[in-house]
Amino acid sequence: MGEMRYPLKKKAVVLLSGGLDSTTALAIAKEHGFQPYALSFRYGQRHGVELQFAARVAAAMCVVEHLIVDIDLRCFGGSALTDDIPVPKDRDADEMGAGIPLTYVPARNTIFLSFALARAETLGASDIFIGVNALDYSGYPDCRPEYVAAYENMASLATRAAVEGHRRLKIHTPLMTLTKSEIICRGTALGVDYALTSSCYDPAEDGRPCRRCDSCRLRAKGFSEAGIADPLLARFGMAAS
Amino acid sequence: MGEMRYPLKKKAVVLLSGGLDSTTALAIAKEHGFQPYALSFRYGQRHGVELQFAARVAAAMCVVEHLIVDIDLRCFGGSALTDDIPVPKDRDADEMGAGIPLTYVPARNTIFLSFALARAETLGASDIFIGVNALDYSGYPDCRPEYVAAYENMASLATRAAVEGHRRLKIHTPLMTLTKSEIICRGTALGVDYALTSSCYDPAEDGRPCRRCDSCRLRAKGFSEAGIADPLLARFGMAAS
C-alpha cells in the first residue's frame, strides 16, 4: 500500500461569459476549493468583445483551462443578442420586469450547460458553476431555480457517471438569490477586479459600455446600491454618473 | 369572422444523422402528420460523410428545412468517434453489450437535443423527434427512457413557452423499444429508402461501410432478421454477406 496522499482539489467546470455574474461565480468556485475549468462560447453574440473580457478574467483568476467553444446560434434567430433586432435601451425597472426580454436567446443556458456537461464528463468532474440569477433576470425562463433543478436531474441521468454509479452531478448557482449589489459586495470581498468584466449587451468595439441597455442599467444600479464605484467606468475614463 | 381554416400541420424538429434510425424517426414524424424541420450536426465526427447521407435523406423525404449546425466536440475528446482512438471492430453481441462503448460521445444527445430545443422555440414548435433506441444501444446512458423523460421535464421549464403557459414540450422517441429488425420493417412499410442511409462509424470517403464496426454489425443483423436485403450494400456493389 502506498502512502495516503492528500486528496487533489476537485475539478469544476465554470461557465464564464466575462460578465460580472459569471466572474463572481468563478471567484466563489475558487473560494469553495475547486480547480476551475472555464468555458466560454462564441455564439454569434453582437457583444463578441465579451470573450476578450472572459480571457482576461480567466488569466487574472488563474483558471486551469479556458476553452472557447464555437457554436452558431444565429442560424436559429429569435434574439436581439444574435440578430439585427435592436437591443432595448433606456428601460426602467418596470419595463425590464414585464415579460421575457428581447435579449433572451432561445435555449441558450440549456445549450451552454450541455457543453459544460460534456466537458465535466471528459474531465471526470461532477460540479458545474453557472452565474444565473433569479432576481434581476426574472424574465429569463432558464434562470429559474426550478429549471436548474430539472437540468441537474436530467444531467445526472445523461452521462457515463450516471450508469456507472458515480457521484451525482451538481449544478452550483451561488448567485441565484442574490441582488446585483449583493453579488458585487460578495465578489469585491473575494478580490474580484470588476474592471476586467463586461456586462453591456451593445458595447463599442473596445468594450466601452453603452450604459443604456438593461444589463448596463442593472450593473449601474448594483454598484450604486453597493456604494462602490464601478472600476470599468474609470478604466474607460467615464464618470460614475 | 372569417371562415374557419383547416389547421396547419404542426411543426416538429427531427434530429437527423443520416443513419437508419433517425431516417426512420423522420418517416414516422411525417406519418404522424408533422411538418419536419431536420437538424444535423457537423461535430468533428470521423464519419462526416454521414452528413451527405443526411442531406440526401432530407431531400428525398421533402423536409421543410434541413439545418446543419457546426459544433466542435473534438475539443473535449473522450470518444472513438471524434478522437484518434480506433473504432472497435468485429465485436460480438456479448462484447457490444458489456459497458459503455468507446464510441459513446460525452453528452452528445444532451447537446443535440438542446439545439433542437432552441430550433423548436424559434419555430414555435413543441415537438422533437429523436431516433434513440434502448435495446441496441443499451450501453449509451443518453438513450435510456428515464433520461429522455428527465430531458423532456427540463425542456418544459426551459423556454419562453414554459413561462407563457404554452403546450408542454414533447420529445418523441418512436424507436425506443423496437429491435433493429422492427425498425427496418416499420421504415420499409413507410417507404423509406435505406440505400440513402449510412450507419457505419468508420466508412470510406465515399460512404462505403466498413461492415465490421458495432453499428454495421447491428445493421446487418437487423436486415437479416427482417428478411430484407440491405439496399446500401447493393448500391456499393457489395454482397449481402
Distance CA B108, CA B115 (A): 11
Residues A111-136, mean pLDDT to the nearest whole number:
92
Contact check, Cβ <8 Å, A110/B108: no
The predicted-structure confidence for A177-189, as pLDDT tens digits, reads as follows 999 999 999 999 9
Average pLDDT over residues B115-123: 93
Please tell me the predicted confidence (pLDDT) of residue B208: 94
pLDDT band at A127 (very low <50, low <70, confident <90, very high): very high
The whole-number pLDDT of residue A167 equals 74
The string of DSSP codes covering chain A is -PPPPPPPPPEEEEE--SSHHHHHHHHHHHHTT-EEEEEEEESS-TTTTHHHHHHHHHHHTT-SEEEEEEB--TTT---TTTSSSPPPBS--HHHHHSSS-TT--TTHHHHHHHHHHHHHHHHT--EEE----TTTTTT-GGGSHHHHHHHHHHHHHHSHHHHHT-PPPEEE-TTTT--HHHHHHHHHHTT--GGG----SS--TT----S-BHHHHHHHHHHHHHT---HHHHHTT----
Residues 6+ apart with CB under 8 A from B49: B198, B203, B205, B206, B207
**Domain assignment of residue B103, yes or no:** yes
Q: Give the number of other CB atoms < 10 A from CB of residue B106.
A: 24
How far does the CA of residue B202 sit from the closest CA of chain A (Å)?
Answer: 22
Domain annotation covers residue B6: no
pLDDT, tens digit, 9 for 90 and up, residues A26-35? 999 999 999 9
Interface contacts A/B by beta carbons within 8 Å: 135
Per the structure block, which three cell numbers stand in for A100?
421575457
What is chain B's mean pLDDT, rounded?
88
For residue B1, the model assigns a pLDDT of: 43
CA distance A216 to A99: 19
Q: Which of the residues A114, A130, A169 would you substitute to probe the B interface, choosing the one with the greatest number of B C-beta atoms within 10 Å? A: A114
Confidence label for A98 from pLDDT (cuts 50, 70 and 90): low
Residue A172 lies in a domain: yes
Mean pLDDT, range A121-127, rounded to an integer: 92
Per the domain annotation, does B190 fall within a domain? yes
Give this complex's ipTM: 0.87
A150 has a chain B CB within 8 A of its CB? yes
CA–CA separation, A164 and B141 (whole Å): 9
Domain membership of residue B4 (yes or no) is: no
Predicted local distance difference test score (pLDDT) of residue B138: 58
So what's the pLDDT on residue A106? Answer: 81
- Binned at pLDDT 50, 70 and 90, residue B73 comes out as confident
CB contact under 8 A, B122 and A106: yes
User: Span A131-144, mean pLDDT?
Assistant: 80
Residue A114 placed within a domain: yes
CA–CA distance, B208 with B238 (Å, rounded to integer): 9
Which pLDDT band holds residue B82 (cuts at 50, 70, 90)?
Answer: confident
Residue A108: closest CA among chain B residues belongs to which residue? B118
**Percent above pLDDT 90 for chain A:** 62
Using N-to-C axis directions, what is the helix angle for A108-123 and B145-158, rounded to 10°?
140
Q: Distance from first CA to last CA of chain A, Å, rounded?
A: 65
Would the pLDDT of A55 be above 50?
yes
Q: What is the pLDDT of residue B209?
A: 94
pLDDT for the residue A140: 81
State the residue range of the domain holding B228: 11-235
> Which positions 111-130 of A are in contact with B (Cβ < 8 Å)?
111, 113-115, 117-119, 121-122
Q: How far is CA B75 from CA A53, B70, B142, in A?
A: 21, 13, 20
Chain B partners within 8 Å of A71 (Cβ): 69-71
In this predicted structure, what is the pLDDT of residue A180? 95
Does some domain include residue A78? yes
Pairwise CA distance, residues A24 & A17, whole Å: 11
Tell me if chain A has a CB within 8 Å of the CB of B85: no
| Burial class for B180, CB neighbours closer than 10 Å (0-12, 13-18, 19+) | buried
pLDDT for the residue numbered A7: 53
Q: Does B159 touch chain A (CB under 8 A)?
A: yes
> Mean per-residue pLDDT for B144-169?
86
Task: Check residue A2 and give its pLDDT.
Answer: 46
Nearest to A107 among B67, B70, B158 (CB): B158
User: For residue B72, what pLDDT is reported?
Assistant: 78
Higher pLDDT, A88 or A211: A211
Domains of chain A: total = 1
CATH of the domain at B142: 3.40.50.620
Predicted local distance difference test score (pLDDT) of residue B7: 53
CB B192 within 8 A of CB B62: no
Task: Mark yes or no for CB contact A153/B151 under 8 Å.
Answer: no
As a whole-number percent, the residues of chain A with pLDDT over 70 amount to: 89
Interface contact A78-B111, CB threshold 8 A: no
Q: Is B210 on the interface with A (CB under 8 A)?
A: no
